[in-house]
């Protein structure tokens, strides 16, 4: 599974009710859901109900966002392995915050599977899944430049806004550059996994590719800086962000999200 | 090596965020003032380049060809490289912060735990990588060896720090975590070391003006010592939790051979590297006292040598 940065950005330029929501609202929704999920108790069976409701809500939003299913699956496939790996090991671990363990299976080499470990592994993975879903929804429906502008409107310091603006602007330039370098290498039959050539030589080629990209990005940075100076850039310069009014639909979706979190928390269901 | 959301509780994640924000603020100030020119736009563009070069996955078996590493890959982090090129660990903090922020949109590292990820890869990686390089260079060790060691530690130490963070969070046992992370990050560190040396060599040939080599020589030894002491203090705090309770080879042999005669006739100040009655805190304190004592002895000896 592979999702390139350009494919990811392409999804954000679709038209849908979710794409149309203001970036600030989407950032606040993602932060709200993530912080709430992380703050949930570590060991509580009821968490599954809460997490299930939140996940269902996010999937409904994802459905209305008209994001390609293959894109969503690919994004999950990239994001899940590390979290899945740690969650899978939980049944074999004695978590320090749990005092009584019920052993449900004894394995060779002194390994034990505990009921509490299985439960904790399942809870931590479910929480992680909800967090990843909210991030995927955000990044599939909001372009990177919109994210930076929205963050600036939410109070991101101007230095950081400048850094991110420049970074986002050139991310795709370098991504395409790396694509061209790789194509050129392929035409010369360079294959990173080829074991018929000495390892040292392969490492050197990788090193030269990285050097090339580093120098090119540095030189692009210099040129950009020079052209900015020509246009009157100074240390006190600010990134211009146009004022954008929030619509009633923006407030409505934020209210619905916060309402769902509140309802889930007070266990109306 | 990116910690995802939910693997660290919110309170601990907040502490890592606070530490990181302090360092990020200082890094922005460094880019504004210490570099003499306003380098903010340049760093923004460079961060984009570093983000892209981090997508070049390299087979771990290319570095160490053992079956355990089949299918495992790693990518260059570049914290030590950035710090060495710009002659400041703040460059690594700044670049890693931006790269990690964008990576979190891909689900590579969480939002609430981004502070911990910045602490590991940007702060620990950048500072340890850079000052190891400077320290070894001051000891007249060959530049490539010093750079390799710095880059190696910039991968290994963040991995160990991550194992500690997950242990503090109650998500993963310490000894197994340290063992796993040290193995994988150690292999990745070897690769990072080689690549850093190659890339630095290529950059110095193509654009020697980019590299602030003069700053490397001017860097004060006091900073190297301060970072070294910080690293040793970190190890002092970690050591009691990692140490095995089993006797060492000599003790085991002695207990088998001299069954009833074992026992010291001297009253030891910190027997078994611990202060009696203080538990783990006593073990940590004993190691810190030992380290401070060694430091004073070392300063004393070096002064005597200087006078002589």
Distance of alpha carbon B70 from alpha carbon B87, whole angstroms = 36
Any idea which residue has 């932060």 for tokens?
A31
Determine the pLDDT at residue B162.
93
For residue B170, name the pLDDT band (cuts at 50, 70, 90).
confident
Determine the pLDDT at residue B244.
72
For residue B143, give how far its alpha carbon lies from the nearest alpha carbon of chain A (Å): 17
Given an 8 Å threshold on Cβ–Cβ distance, is A42 in contact with B9? yes
Of the partner residues A90, A139, A171, the one whose CB lies closest to the CB of residue B48: A171
Chain region(s) in chain B for CATH 1.10.1760.20: 10-219
What's the residue count for chain A?
269
- pLDDT, tens only, A246-263: 889 999 999 999 999 999
Given an 8 Å threshold on Cβ–Cβ distance, is A8 in contact with B106? yes
Of the partner residues A135, A213, A225, the one whose CB lies closest to the CB of residue B104: A135
Question: Residue B195: CB partners within 8 Å, gap ≥ 6?
Answer: A203, A206, A207, A210, B58, B76, B81, B151
- pLDDT of A83 above 60: yes
Distance of alpha carbon A269 from alpha carbon B284, whole angstroms = 49
Return the minimum-mean-pLDDT range out of A81-95, B109-123, B131-145: A81-95
Q: Report the pLDDT averaged over residues B91-110.
A: 89
For residue A216, give how far its alpha carbon lies from the nearest alpha carbon of chain B (Å): 8
Given an 8 Å threshold on Cβ–Cβ distance, is A220 in contact with B49? yes
- pLDDT of B12 above 60: yes
For residue B210, name the pLDDT band (cuts at 50, 70, 90).
confident
For residue B157, name the pLDDT band (cuts at 50, 70, 90).
very high
- Select, from the ranges A198-212, B58-72, B151-165, B207-221, the one with the highest average predicted confidence (pLDDT): B151-165
Determine the pLDDT at residue B213.
80
Of the partner residues B42, B52, B111, the one whose CB lies closest to the CB of residue A178: B52
Determine the pLDDT at residue A132.
94
- pLDDT, tens only, B255-269: 777 666 555 566 677
Torsions phi, psi for B74 (to 5 deg): -145, 160
- pLDDT of B70 above 70: no
- pLDDT, tens only, A106-119: 888 778 889 889 99
The reply to whether CATH 1.10.1760.20 applies to domain B10-219 is yes
B305 or B24, greater pLDDT: B24
Determine the pLDDT at residue B247.
73
- pLDDT of B105 above 60: yes
- pLDDT of A214 above 90: no
Distance of alpha carbon B50 from alpha carbon B95, whole angstroms = 8
ipTM greater than cut 0.85: yes
Q: What is the mean pLDDT of chain B?
A: 84
- pLDDT of A217 above 80: yes
Per the CB < 8 A criterion, the answer to whether B88 and B130 are in contact is yes
Angle CA A223–A228–A229, to nearest 5: 100
Q: Report the pLDDT averaged over residues B121-147.
A: 93
DSSP string of B223-271, one letter each residue: HHHHHHHHHHHHHHHHHHHHS-SS--HHHHHHHHHSTTT-S-SSPPTTG
- pLDDT of B69 above 90: no
DSSP string of A103-150, one letter each residue: EEEE-GGG-EEEHHHHHHHHHHHHHHHHHHHHHHHHHHHS-HHHHHHH
Q: Which residues of A61-91 are buried (b: 16+ CB within 10 A; e: fewer)?
A: bbeebebeeebbebbeebbbebbeebbebbb
Task: Tell me the helix, strand and coil percentages in chain A, rounded to 5.
Answer: 70, 5, 30
Q: Which of B159, B116, B115, B153 is nearest to B131 (CA)?
A: B153
B169 or B295, greater pLDDT: B169
For residue B57, list its beta bridge partners: B75
- pLDDT of A269 above 60: no
B149 or A5, greater pLDDT: B149
For residue A132, give how far its alpha carbon lies from the nearest alpha carbon of chain B (Å): 6
Q: 3-class SS at B70? A: coil
Determine the pLDDT at residue A32.
94
Return the minimum-mean-pLDDT range out of A169-178, A235-244, B77-86: A235-244
- pLDDT of B66 above 70: no
For residue B230, give how far its alpha carbon lies from the nearest alpha carbon of chain A (Å): 28
Of the partner residues A135, A221, A233, the one whose CB lies closest to the CB of residue B107: A135
Return the minimum-mean-pLDDT range out of B11-25, B108-122, B137-151, B265-279: B265-279
Given an 8 Å threshold on Cβ–Cβ distance, is B41 in contact with A160? no
B165 or B273, greater pLDDT: B165
Determine the pLDDT at residue A212.
87
Q: What is the mean pLDDT of chain A?
A: 86
Query: Which residue spans within B25-64 are E strands per DSSP?
Result: 57-59
Residues above pLDDT 70, as percent of chain B: 90
- pLDDT, tens only, A133-190: 999 999 999 998 899 999 999 988 888 888 888 888 888 888 888 888 889 888 988 8
């Amino acid at each position: 599974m592979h999702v390139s940065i350009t494919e990811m950005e392409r999804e954000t330029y679709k038209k849908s009710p979710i794409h149309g929501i203001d970036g600030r609202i989407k950032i606040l929704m993602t932060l709200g859901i993530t912080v709430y999920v992380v703050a949930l108790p570590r060991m509580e069976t009821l968490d599954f109900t809460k997490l299930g409701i939140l996940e269902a809500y996010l999937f409904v939003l994802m459905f209305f966002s008209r994001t390609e299913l293959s894109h969503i699956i690919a994004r999950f496939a990239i994001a899940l392995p590390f979290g899945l790996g740690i969650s899978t090991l939980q049944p074999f671990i004695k978590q320090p915050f749990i005092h009584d363990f019920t052993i449900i299976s004894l394995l060779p080499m002194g390994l034990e599977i505990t009921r509490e470990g299985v439960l904790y592994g399942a809870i931590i993975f479910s929480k992680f899944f909800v967090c990843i879903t909210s991030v995927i929804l955000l990044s599939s429906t909001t372009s990177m430049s919109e994210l930076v502008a929205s963050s600036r409107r939410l109070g991101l310091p101007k230095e950081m806004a400048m850094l991110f603006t420049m970074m986002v602007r050139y991310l795709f330039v370098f991504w395409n550059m790396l694509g061209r370098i790789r194509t050129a290498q392929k035409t010369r039959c360079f294959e990173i996994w080829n074991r018929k050539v000495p390892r040292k030589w392969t490492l050197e080629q990788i090193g030269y590719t990285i050097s090339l990209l580093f120098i090119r990005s540095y030189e692009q940075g210099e040129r950009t800086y020079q052209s900015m100076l020509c246009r009157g850039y100074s240390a006190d310069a600010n990134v211009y962000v146009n004022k954008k009014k929030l619509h009633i639909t923006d407030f409505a979706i934020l209210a619905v999200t916060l309402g769902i979190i509140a309802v889930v928390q007070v266990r109306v269901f | 090596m990116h910690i995802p959301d939910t693997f660290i509780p919110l309170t601990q994640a907040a502490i890592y965020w606070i530490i990181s924000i302090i360092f990020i603020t200082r890094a922005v100030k460094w880019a504004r003032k210490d570099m003499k020119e306003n380098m903010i736009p340049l760093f923004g563009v460079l961060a984009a380049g570093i983000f892209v070069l981090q997508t070049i996955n390299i087979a771990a078996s290319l570095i160490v060809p053992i079956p355990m590493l089949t299918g495992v890959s790693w990518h260059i982090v570049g914290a030590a490289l950035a710090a060495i090129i710009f002659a400041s660990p703040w460059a690594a903090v700044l670049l890693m912060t931006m790269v990690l922020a964008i990576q979190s949109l891909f689900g590579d590292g969480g939002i609430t735990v981004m502070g911990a990820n910045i602490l590991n890869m940007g702060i620990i990686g950048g500072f340890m990588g850079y000052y190891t390089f400077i320290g070894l260079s001051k000891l007249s060790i060959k530049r490539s060896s010093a750079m390799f060691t710095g880059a190696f530690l910039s991968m290994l130490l963040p991995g160990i720090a991550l194992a500690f963070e997950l242990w503090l969070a109650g998500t993963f046992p310490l000894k197994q975590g340290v063992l796993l992370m040290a193995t994988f990050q150690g292999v990745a560190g070897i690769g990072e070391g080689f690549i850093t040396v190659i890339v630095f060599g290529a950059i110095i040939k193509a654009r020697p003006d980019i590299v602030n080599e003069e700053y490397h020589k001017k860097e004060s030894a006091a900073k190297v010592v301060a970072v070294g002491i910080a690293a040793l203090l970190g190890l002092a705090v970690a050591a009691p939790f990692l140490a095995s309770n089993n006797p060492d080879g000599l003790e085991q042999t002695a207990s088998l051979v001299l069954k009833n005669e074992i026992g010291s006739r001297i009253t030891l100040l910190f027997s078994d590297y611990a202060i009696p009655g203080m538990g783990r805190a006593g073990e940590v304190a004993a190691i810190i006292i030992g380290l401070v004592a060694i430091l004073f002895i070392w300063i004393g000896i070096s002064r005597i040598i200087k006078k002589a």
